[in-house]
């Protein structure tokens, strides 16, 4: 099992509504401390897939 911390950026009050902005934030893998910034759900999913593929190959490399 892999553990990730997902931090999602939210606009300050007075900024456009969150639904009008793309999903963005930071994904951190707890075991390695590796962090990946993402902008959009496609980037987030790709970052998770890369982490899983590295584990499947037994490789630990920066995301």
To the question of pTM greater than 0.85 for the whole model, the response is: no
Give the pLDDT mean for 14-29. 78
- Is the Cα torsion angle 43, 45, 50, 51 positive or negative in sign? positive
Average the pLDDT over 9-26 and give the result.
Answer: 75
The token duo for 38 is 């993402």
Say how far residue 29 (Cα) sits from the centre of its chain: 9
In the chain, what's the furthest Cα-to-Cα distance?
A: 46
As a whole-number percent, the residues of the chain with pLDDT over 70 amount to 73
Which residue is associated with the tokens 């999913």? 45
- Taking 90 as the threshold, does the pLDDT of residue 20 lie above it? no
The answer for residues whose C-beta is within 8 angstroms of residue 46's C-beta and 6 or more apart is none
């Amino acid at each position: 099992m892999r553990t990730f911390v997902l931090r999602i950026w939210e606009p300050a009050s007075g900024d456009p509504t969150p639904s009008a902005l793309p999903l963005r934030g930071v994904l951190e893998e707890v075991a390695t401390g590796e962090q990946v910034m993402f902008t959009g759900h496609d980037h987030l999913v790709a970052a998770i897939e890369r982490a899983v593929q590295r584990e499947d190959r037994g490789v630990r490399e920066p995301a």
